[in-house]
Amino acid sequence: MKLYNQSQIKTSIVFIHNKKSSYMAPVIKQAKLSNPDADIFIISTICSKNFYEKYGKFIDINDYFDEASSFEKLYFHLSSLDYSLELIFIQRWFVLYSFMRINNLRHVVYLDSDCMLYHNVSSDWDYLNNYDFANLDKIWPAVTFFPSLLSISKFCDFLIYQYKKNLDYLKNRYKEEFLDKNIEGGIGDMSHFGMYHDMYNNIFDFSIIINNSTYDTNVNDSINSRRSFNDQSILAENKEGYLLNAISNIKKIFIHGKKPYGFLLVSNKKIYFKSIHFQGSSKKYIPYFYTGNIFQKLIYIRMFRKLGY
């Protein structure tokens, strides 16, 4: 197993995606454009190696899957969504923990495979001085900062606790929030992030507006920080929502100086998006928001059209 030791503390950006997905090409390249000094790791299955190693340091997920496999013995499926999908979403945090521990990594930012990054994340670590870790709206893991091995270890320990000691509560919550209301979905890793925050109040929220900038939770949603609604310390502008594009129905965003900006719904204030999360069907818009070479951008657009995104 190859180790990636760092001579000095710096940010590592990690993707965990257990299959080959062509839409990730501009996503990974965009992360590197914004973070030229960061190590980019793509943790995936060995059959994807030839594809992903063109864009970053490929890591075989099976080399770091022991603890994720152990967790599967505890996992109890409480969702209408696919068993294997909900499970791997939780297992990825054990994979990341194992990868960080074995390679002695700290200051790691995890990115979802459909999240475009436009900001040098190394400048944001100071916000986490008094927090375990950071994500978006305290539940969305599209951009998740782990400042140390201890921080992700605490979350993995919490996941084990949830299924080993707190399973009755999870079953009741699933019944009340989903089954009784006939709503699709269930208890997944986003639920656990929310419960972790409710228990410890120690997740920093990067979806709030800081110095006229934010990280996007979901480009399909006007509201960026739903959990901030009940937080009286959060500025009112975080509760406004953002203008949507009348045609695409995603956030209305324009690129200026290779940075994306959106507009608040009421004040029309311009806000810099440090990332954009193209969840679900909005993946088809990813190449249009690539800020690298224009010819490469056109290649990505043609590729996405050919693939039917």
Instruction: For the chain, give the longest Cα–Cα distance.
Output: 55
- Phi and psi angles of residue 110, each rounded to the nearest 5 degrees, phi first: -90, 135
Number of other CB atoms surrounding residue 161 within 10 Å = 15
- In this structure, the chain runs to a length of 309
- What DSSP assignment string belongs to 155-214? HHHHHHHHHHT-HHHHHHHHIIIIITTT-S-BS-HHHHHHHHHHHH--EEETTS-BTTEE
Instruction: Report DSSP state, residue 235.
Output: -
Whether 180 shows a pLDDT value over 50: the answer reads yes
- What DSSP assignment string belongs to 89-109? HHHHHHHHHHHHHHTT--SEE
Per the CB < 8 A criterion, the answer to whether 289 and 283 are in contact is: no
Terminal alpha carbon distance of the chain: 36
- The token duo for 107 is 């200051």
CB-side neighbour CA atoms (13 Å) of 126: 2
Beta pairing partners, 243: none
- The mean per-residue pLDDT over the stretch 260-278 comes to 96
Alpha helices in 13-60 (DSSP H): 24-34, 49-52
Interhelix angle for 83-102 vs 189-200, to 10°? Answer: 60
Whether 4 shows a pLDDT value over 50: the answer reads no
Number of other CB atoms surrounding residue 91 within 10 Å = 24
pLDDT on residue 119: 97
pTM of the prediction?
Answer: 0.94
- Tell me which residue of 83, 38, 80, 79 sits closest to 57, measured CA to CA: 38
pLDDT on residue 279: 96
3-state secondary structure of 58: strand
pLDDT on residue 9: 53
Number of other CB atoms surrounding residue 204 within 10 Å = 19
Distance CA 228, CA 187 (A): 21
- The mean per-residue pLDDT over the stretch 125-152 comes to 96
The mean pLDDT of the chain is 94
- Among the residue ranges 149-153, 233-237, 271-275, 297-301, the one predicted with the least confidence is 233-237
- Among the residue ranges 22-36, 77-91, 172-186, 231-245, the one predicted with the least confidence is 231-245
What's at 87, amino acid-wise? L
Which H or E run includes 39?
strand 39-44
Domain ranges of the chain: 12-307
pLDDT on residue 6: 39
Whether 231 shows a pLDDT value over 80: the answer reads no
Interhelix angle for 167-174 vs 149-164, to 10°? Answer: 80
Which residue shows structure tokens 């990813």? 286
Whether 309 shows a pLDDT value over 90: the answer reads no
